[in-house]
Amino acid sequence: MTDLIDKLSQWQREQDRANSISAEIRQDKGQFIEETGVNKKALTIFGQLHKMDEEKRADFFRTWDEHIEDLRVHWDNQSTPDMFDAEDAPEMTDGDEAPATDEDGNVVPFDVEIDEESAAFDEAADKAFSGAAE
């Protein structure tokens, strides 16, 4: 039984030491990312590539080189262009409704305006129905 307890204690000490080292590595990586501006995901991929043996890394880059341009074209075509160029944007005309404002001239968010209209409607409905019930 002593052997088992000794082994469990040894493994726990080793795990604690490994956890401490992992925390130091994560902190060092975070500082490196902050100082250099390297993308976190890119750094992870660079680490994976660095660990690969030469043959696997060469195969990765062969595949990468074959497909990256097609992927970039696909990804670039996914962006949504602006609906209007700045000079083509429609201007407000006299027929357009100006945004609602409060008594101080501040623009009232649309949902606040609706809340006030709803409250007024509810109040009017309550008066109408309370009179009908009498």
Of 45, 50, 44, nearest to 29 by C-alpha is 44
Structure tokens at 115: 């809340």
Of 58, 76, 77, nearest to 66 by C-alpha is 58
CB 84 within 8 A of CB 90: yes
Over residues 42-99, the pLDDT tens digits come to 999 999 999 999 999 999 999 999 999 999 999 888 876 666 565 666 666 666 676 6
* Whole-number Å distance between alpha carbons of 26 and 44: 11
Share of the chain above pLDDT 70, in %: 74
- pLDDT band (50, 70, 90) for residue 121: confident
* Whole-number Å distance between alpha carbons of 130 and 132: 5
